[in-house]
Structure 1
Amino acid sequence: MSAASVNGPRFEISDRGKEIIVQLLEDRRRLEELKTYIDQLRMEFDGRVEQKTAIYQAEKERHKLIDKEEKKEDKLANQFDLSNEIIQDNDALRSFVPEYFPQ
């Protein structure tokens, strides 16, 4: 048996055919590089989105805490105002009925 019958017919690839094959292989390699680059960009973008989301959530939580503290401050201020009113009322009562407020 000859080599041609075992391995199939032999044929020559023209120089232009070789150039096309080389170009196709280079294009395939470049496409793989681009795919890798796009995947990296996606991961970076996803990371940035996650980071922005985390920052947004932290800011939201911060504002909740600020609002909560402001409500506490308002409540304390109202209690202080009430205390002052009570003291003033007691002073007024003391002047009208001093026997109920020994000194």
Structure 2
Amino acid sequence: MNGEMVRIAELEIDPAQIDAYKALLAEEIEASIAKEPGVLMLHAVSECIRPEHIRILEVYADREAYEAHLRTPHFLKYKAGTAGMVRSLRLVDVDPVLMRGK
């Protein structure tokens, strides 16, 4: 990749709040993609047998774009709104081997 920052966020959400969490996450992802040119990709998935386990593949143009993302009103709203829902969060910086889409 050409200087991009790629990360996987591994979250465990309170199962009783999963629908509310997904709504806030969808709002945050939509705003990030629409408003931030440095946010190249945000893909969120949940495990089939444990839907409270969410994984987010995040791709930013560079570290500066990621740092700017953390300061946006929509991200701060997401963090505040989901604070009581997230049981655990692990951020894993990764090196892409090959990423393609169609």
TM-score tier by shorter-chain length is under 0.3
- Higher radius of gyration, 1 or 2: 1
TM-score by length of 2: 0.23
Q: Which has the higher helix share?
A: 1
Q: Which has the higher strand share?
A: 2
TM-score by length of 1: 0.23
**Higher RCO, 1 or 2 (CA under 8 Å, sep at least 6)?**
2
